[in-house]
């Protein structure tokens, strides 16, 4: 027997409307219809279906959260760095650019510190000061400082750098001029740290008045930092500084330059970084006072606080992933530093 298209198609809404119309035609009121046992059964089934769907979704969210915690804190069943790389690769982002991607929402330092994994306190035991050294052989640096976490200041590492005479507020203002590719790269792909200033991007920094930039007339102090991920700008910067001579011969520096600049009387608050590698930072102009503190789990094993002044021409090497640190620009000129990570 042939079945018509209308008979073969089941539409619950049309069927219910047809039954409703027949009930009204039969003389039932809205109140009578709402009391029908069939409608009561439908309501119960809808409620149970929604509850079942909600509990099922909650179960899968809980399992996903547990798995994510295992990956992030235990590195099982996949290393978290590999997971992040796969995530960015799926989004079409090249592996080398993962560390340059901006967070949509910046995690407050207190939250980052709270979930920071504990460290082995051997890196700060018996460390009472940041040694000041010169003529440091790469082999000695590798054996005693490069990967030990012990802070050190190398006082002769920039003696052949033209950066000490070239780098200034105006120099960087010229590189990151309004509309330049370098500025667009920083503001779209690189990281910018306003610290306690009102600046929302590097363009606003280089648009400030000359009086404020150079702290004339009692202007408000300022301090900012940024990462340069523009290749052309990086080539300009590297014309004026070289790879520190004391780095291990097999070590490679990051392609990213980190620049920090600001007026006397200002600096960075106490914090710990969340980067992969130790880093070096060269003091180009001005003097910066670093205050170092061990993490809380090391308070009974290490000195409570270290303080070191880094002067023009000095390079400080520090594992900022382990040492809590704050900085203060002292003296009477703008502080400019440039640095990078190394493996």
The residues spanned by each domain of the chain are 12-74, 80-107, 121-341
Cα separation, 191 vs 102, whole angstroms: 6
If one compares 258 and 98, the residue with the highest pLDDT of the two is: 258
Q: Say yes or no to pLDDT of 223 above 70.
A: yes
Q: Give whole-number Cα distances, 133 to 44, 127, 151, 157, in Å.
A: 79, 15, 11, 10
Cα separation, 85 vs 92, whole angstroms: 10
Q: Say yes or no to pLDDT of 302 above 80.
A: yes
Q: Say yes or no to pLDDT of 44 above 70.
A: no
Nearest of 204, 171, 207, 173 to residue 284 by alpha carbon: 171
Q: What is the CATH number of domain 121-341?
A: 2.60.120.650
Give residue for tokens 């709270």: 114
For the segment 125-137, the average pLDDT, to the nearest whole number, is 96
- Chain segment 159-174, per-residue pLDDT in tens: 899 999 999 999 999 9
If one compares 85 and 171, the residue with the highest pLDDT of the two is: 171
For the segment 14-40, the average pLDDT, to the nearest whole number, is 71
Contact criterion met (CB below 8 Å) for 261 and 213: no
Other CB atoms within a 10 A radius of the CB of residue 246 amount to 24
Nearest of 282, 56, 270, 272 to residue 157 by alpha carbon: 282
Give residue for tokens 């011969």: 249
Give residue for tokens 């990213």: 256
Buried-state track 90-101, b at ≥16 Cβ within 10 A, e below 16: eeeeeeeeebbe
Q: Is the dihedral of CA 201, 207, 213, 215 positive or negative?
A: negative
Q: Lowest-confidence range among 87-91, 121-125, 138-142, 225-229? A: 87-91
Most confident of 8-12, 49-53, 210-214, 336-340: 336-340
**pLDDT value of residue 274:** 79
Q: Give whole-number Cα distances, 201 to 121, 183, 193, 195, in Å.
A: 37, 9, 8, 11
Q: Give whole-number Cα distances, 124 to 101, 117, 129, 151, 178, in Å.
A: 31, 16, 10, 9, 44
Nearest of 184, 189, 192, 225 to residue 101 by alpha carbon: 189
**pLDDT value of residue 3:** 47
Give residue for tokens 């440091």: 136
Give residue for tokens 């060269």: 282
Residue 187 backbone phi and psi in degrees, to 5? -80, -15
Three-state SS sequence of the chain: CCCCHHHHCCCHHHHHHHHHHHHHHCCCCHHHHHCCHHHHHHHHHHHHHHHHHHHHHHHHHHHHHHHHHHHHHHCCCCCHHHHHHHHHHHCCCCHHHHHHCCCCCCCCHHHHHHCCCCCCHHHCCCCCCCEEECCCCHHHHHHHHHCCCCCEEECCCCCCCCHHHHCCHHHHHHHCCCCCHHHHHHHHHCCEECCCCCCCCHHHHCCCCHHHHCCCCCCCCCEEEEEECCHHHHHHHCCCCCCCCCCCCCCCECCCEEEEEECCCCCCCCECCCCCCCEEEEEEECEEEEEEECCHHHCCCCCCCEEEEECCCCEEEECCCCCEEEEEEECCCCEEEEEEEEC
pLDDT band at 152 (very low <50, low <70, confident <90, very high): very high
pLDDT band at 63 (very low <50, low <70, confident <90, very high): confident
Average model confidence (pLDDT) for the chain? 84
């Amino acid at each position: 027997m042939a079945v018509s298209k209308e008979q073969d198609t089941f539409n619950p809404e049309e069927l219910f409307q047809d039954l409703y119309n027949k009930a009204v035609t039969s003389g039932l009121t809205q109140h009578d219809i709402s009391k029908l046992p069939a409608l009561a059964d439908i309501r119960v089934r809808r409620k149970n279906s929604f509850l079942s769907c909600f509990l099922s979704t909650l179960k899968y969210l809980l399992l996903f959260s547990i798995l994510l915690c295992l990956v992030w804190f235990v590195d099982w069943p996949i290393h978290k760095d590999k997971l992040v790389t796969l995530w960015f690769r799926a989004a079409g982002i090249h592996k080398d650019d993962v560390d340059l991607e901006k967070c949509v929402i910046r995690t407050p330092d207190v939250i980052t510190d709270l979930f920071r994994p504990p460290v082995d306190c051997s890196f700060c035991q018996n460390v009472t000061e940041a040694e000041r050294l010169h003529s440091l052989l790469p082999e000695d640096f590798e054996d005693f400082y490069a990967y030990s976490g012990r802070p050190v200041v190398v006082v002769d590492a920039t003696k052949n750098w033209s950066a000490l005479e070239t780098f200034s507020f105006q120099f960087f203002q010229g590189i990151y001029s309004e509309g330049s590719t370098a500025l667009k790269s920083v503001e779209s792909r690189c990281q910018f740290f306003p610290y306690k200033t009102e600046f929302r991007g590097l363009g606003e920094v280089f648009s400030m008045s000359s009086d404020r930039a150079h702290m004339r007339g009692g202007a408000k102090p300022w301090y900012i930092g940024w990462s340069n991920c523009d290749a052309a700008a990086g080539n300009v910067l590297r014309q004026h500084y070289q790879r520190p001579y004391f780095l291990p011969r097999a070590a490679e520096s990051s392609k990213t330059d980190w620049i920090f600049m600001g007026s006397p009387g200002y600096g960075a608050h106490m914090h710990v970084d969340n980067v992969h590698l130790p880093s070096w930072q060269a003091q180009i102009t001005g003097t910066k006072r670093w205050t170092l503190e061990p993490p809380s789990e090391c308070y009974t094993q290490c000195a409570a606080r270290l303080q070191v002044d880094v002067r023009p021409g000095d390079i400080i090497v520090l594992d900022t992933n382990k040492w809590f640190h704050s900085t203060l620009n002292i003296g009477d000129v703008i502080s400019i530093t440039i640095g990078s990570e190394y493996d």
